[in-house]
Chain A
Amino acid sequence: MPTKQQKATAYWKENVKYLFILLSIWFAVSYGAGILFKDALNHIKIGGFKLGFWFAQQGAIYVFVILIFVYVHLMNKLDKKYGYDE
């Protein structure tokens, strides 16, 4: 049986790993696609939207919403795994 402390440390490590992955996506869609690479992406057109412009004014926001719900789902699972859910 792992001690209480070991369990808490392992839980925290997994939590931080999730945060790192999710925030990388957060960064990529807004600062990446919407700002730094928008000129390159603007050469691609979907319907009337230039892709870089679409990310900056629509796409990034949709991804943000999805990211939080993925986080909620992952953390609920993690809480169960470590017996921290209530």
Chain B
Amino acid sequence: MDVQTWTYILVGITFSLYIGIAIWSRAGSTKEFYVAGGGVSPWANGMATAADWMSAASFLSMAGIIAFAGYDGSVYLMGWTGGYVLLALLLAPYLRKFGKFTVPDFIGDRYYSNSSRIVAVFCALLVSFTYVAGQMRGVGVVFSRFLEVDINTGVIIGMVIVLFYAVLGGMKGITYTQVAQYCVLIFAFMVPAIFISIQMTGNPVPQLGMGSALNDGSGTYLLDKLNGLSTELGFAEYTSGTKSTLDVLAITLALMVGTAGLPHVIVRFFTVKRVKDARKSAGLALLLIAILYTTAPAVAVFAKTNLIDTVSNQPYNTLPVWFKNWEKTGLLTFEDKNGDGKIQYVADPKTNELKIDNDIMVLANPEIANLPAWVIALVAAGGLAAALSTAAGLLLVISSSVSHDLIKKVFVPNISERGELWTARIAATFAVVVAGYFGINPPGFVAAVVALAFGLAAASFFPAIVLGIFYKKMNKEGAVTGMIVGITLMLYYMIKYKLGWFDSTLPNKSEWWFGISPEGFGAVAMLANFLVSILVMRFTPPPPQHVQDIVEDIRIPSGAREATGH
């Protein structure tokens, strides 16, 4: 059977599975819609969190980014896992004890005002919308390459599926489909990695294969070979970086703190029964995530070495079929600048003839390594699982921010349970349509901005939540000013140095503040948020006694109430 038939079969089976789960786990109440009824087991929540968190970017792009960035790619590996330590130790148990539905719920109650709630809703929507557009795009890319429909049709199919289970099932439907999606995506990521590791090093564990010697009889270590190939072609050594140490520190910190502050990840911990379940499921989530995150750098090394071996200095017309297939998608381009009919892949942009999009490394990897057709199809199904699970989690945050935090808590406090549930469903539908629109017509800035969603989350939520738990005297004036300063600073820096909208051209890197890139600036904006919050607090009245009592209460793990909206 060919790749396309296999892809139809595997994608068909997995999609039917998701729809089946959605029908089985329809939400009947707002509590089921927002927090899956609050009785999810730690293992199920760990798997759901892992799938929720690992997006199209983790599955499709990350190994590719690392393959081209080498050591510099470590910022993503440490940043996107280290954040879970912060989440497990500083946020998840206390937010679970607090026992509400959403992150703006916590901010609004802890900082006793609707103004803080509205600022939080604004931040949640900003973070989630920038993030979700990238997911729909990922769905489109997978469909277009493997099922040969165009990207737009792919996005629409993805929209319909997500709409079906997110709108029908809410958090309950999303949780159990995410459990299934985790299994699909981790299997799909590991199988080709194990195959290739055995092929190249004889070691079936990719994490070890990465540091092993090649099994071509030369006895050279794989990493040494890759370092040699890289420097030969004029690139930096793979295991050393080109970014400044300060920038690497800043980006890692921004990604860690941003991860801990992402609302769609935080709400997952509202769905478990007890505080100790929240701690345990954060550990399980990271364990399950780490399986992919420690394999990705190995895949990066295998893929990069294979790619250079296969194409560098080879005549164009003797290249394998996969090369031409990917050329059709425009993600791989070859321009024979010196007219010798061979591919020169080098660091110098003037003589380099090959352009490779980060996204194709994982997708093309099994083809480059000549793996069987079903493995290639499996990767397509895994990519879709990763994109759909994250999109669903984000859509839930968007819909609950609107229906619960804005409509119920601010504008129509006496809305009926049924009315709120329907509002949530309408908001989710609206969010899917907007996300789909951005997936079909991606404004140029979306791709650039997705990575900055972390900076936005770091600059806004993380300080407000941490101070809310660990600093009893923090008041609404401090927290609200801090959030506004943090997110404004981050938006300003992003628009000026990433999008270049303030000047006629994008400012040069030398103008960056302290030499910190827009990706790392979230760390600076977060510090600014902390400082401003504490400074303003000193000159404004302390929080009322009942709020200080709430803080005392969330620090004690026992007696976590069922999550309620009242």
Contact = CB atoms under 8 A, between A and B. Distances in A.
Contact of A71 (B66, B279, B470, B559): B279
Contacts, number: 134
B332 interface: no
Interface stretch (B286-294, B404-412, B431-439, B487-495): B286-294
Contacts of A69: 283, 287
Contact of B283 (A53, A61, A68, A85): A68
Interface string A14-54: 01100100110010001100111010001000111110011
B78 A61 contact: yes
B217 to A, nearest CB: 16
Contact of A79 (B74, B208, B276, B555): B276
12 contacts: A12-B555, A22-B85, A49-B211, A53-B71, A53-B223, A57-B74, A61-B290, A64-B82, A64-B290, A65-B286, A84-B557, A86-B276
A68 B207 CA distance: 21
Contact of A67 (B85, B208, B245): B85
Nearest to A34: B78
Interface residues of B, number: 51
A60 B557 contact: no
B210 interface: yes
B239 A42 contact: yes
Contact of B90 (A19, A54, A84): A19
Contacts of B253: 31
Contacts of B279: 68, 71-72, 75
B324 to A, nearest CB: 33
B77 A57 contact: yes
B89 A23 contact: yes
Contacts of B78: 30, 34, 56, 60-61
B88 A68 contact: yes
Nearest to A15: B555
A47 B81 contact: no
Contacts of A60: 77-78, 81-82
Contacts of A68: 84-85, 88-89, 279, 282-283, 286
